Amino acid sequence: MDTFTLITITGIGLGALYFLIASGLSLIYGLMGVLNFAHGTFLTVGAFAGLWISTQVFTTPSMWTFTAAMLFGGIAAGIFALIVEQLVIRKLYERHIDQALVTVGVALVVGAVLSGWFRNDPRLIPTPLWFINTFTIGSARIPVDRFLYIGVALFLLLALSAILKFTRIGLIIRAGVENRAMVTALGINVRIAFSTVFFLGGFSAGVGGVLVGVYQSGVSPLMSGSWLIYGFIVVVIGGMGSLGGSALAALLIGVVNQFANYYITGLGDFVVVFLLAAVLLTRPQGLLGKVMS
């Protein structure tokens, strides 16, 4: 029972990280139909921004300084996402193959630049000392950072949901996810919505980047590869444009991955791919996605 509890909570924590990466991908594709392969660079830029402020601005790690690192990483990644949208993506709407090629190019260039500046050796993000502690549930000892991942992901899920449901820009975004052509025909300036979605997606990825840097014990220019792949898998399983679907899929994938790896090391990736194939064959629109007409 203790092992079950440990694996379950660890899986939920991993799923929380997947959600932070996938939420922006889901909204960006759901609203704009943009396959943004540069999304992983948002995560990396956010991680390095959080590393910089943690080491160059603050001298003593604490929960306040780590919170500032997450916020700074999120804002830096959000601004970088806006720059990418303004300079690259905006010129390529409705040109999906060009979008894919150009965003792959952006990812390669940014990765090369960061590798040249920082090299590929992992760099530790300073964290509060209590991060090394554990929390006891029954007899299971759970690392406290898992609860931080879950809390941050839950907070951003609620915040993004509130923005989408209770603000005018959120109404435009949701309408665009449902029927982008109709929103444009009504004379609504969807450009602002596009930019807002890119910023929100970059912000979530940047916060996730700082937390991923803690989870994998280091920040490096190569850190985004597998996380971006899992982000796309979460989006496909959850349903394009569905935040709730992304959250559900991330939770499912994180837990399944951890249990599979516990029983047979290395089996987790295979089981996740099998789950992806099963969803595509039985429900192509995803768990909470809408059937495309």
Segment (H or E) for 142: strand 140-143
Confidence of residue 100 (pLDDT cuts 50, 70, 90): confident
Count CA within 13 A, CB hemisphere, residue 121: 2
Domain count, the chain: 1
CB environment 158-179: b (16+ within 10 A), e (fewer)? eebeeebeeeeebebbbbbbee
| Residue 264 belongs to a domain | no
Tell me how far apart the terminal alpha carbons of the chain are, to the nearest angstrom. 46
φ/ψ (deg, to 5) at 9:
-70, -40
pLDDT at 293: 44
Q: Average pLDDT of 89-112?
A: 83
How far apart CA 88 and CA 28 sit, in angstroms, is 14
Write out pLDDT tens, residues 34-81: 778 888 899 999 999 999 999 888 878 888 999 999 999 999 999 999
Got the DSSP string for 71-131?
HHHHHHHHHHHHHHHHHTGGGGTT-HHHHHHHHHHHHHHHHHHHHHHH-SS-BPPP--GGG
| Residue 106 belongs to a domain | yes
Least confident of 181-195, 197-211, 264-278: 181-195
Tell me how far CA of residue 64 lies from CA of 22, 43, 60, 191, 253, in angstroms. Answer: 26, 21, 10, 35, 31
Indicate whether 291 pLDDT > 60.
no
| Residue 253 belongs to a domain | no
pTM of the model: 0.91
| Residue 254 belongs to a domain | no
How far apart CA 69 and CA 73 sit, in angstroms, is 6
> Helices 39-52 and 225-238: crossing angle, nearest 10°?
130
Write out pLDDT tens, residues 143-179: 888 999 999 999 999 998 898 888 888 887 777 666 7
Give the domain range for residue 67. Answer: 2-221
pLDDT at 290: 66
pLDDT at 158: 93
| Residue 142 belongs to a domain | yes
CA angle 224, 207, 273 (to 5 degrees): 40
| Residue 127 belongs to a domain | yes
How far apart CA 16 and CA 9 sit, in angstroms, is 10
| Residue 87 belongs to a domain | yes
Got the DSSP string for 248-276?
HHHHHHHHHHHHHHHHSTTHHHHHHHHHH
Write out pLDDT tens, residues 247-260: 999 999 999 999 99
Nearest Cα neighbor of 248 from 211, 286, 216 is 286
Q: Average pLDDT of 121-128?
A: 88
Segment (H or E) for 279: helix 267-282
Write out pLDDT tens, residues 192-242: 777 888 899 899 999 999 999 999 888 998 888 888 899 899 999 988 778
| Residue 151 belongs to a domain | yes
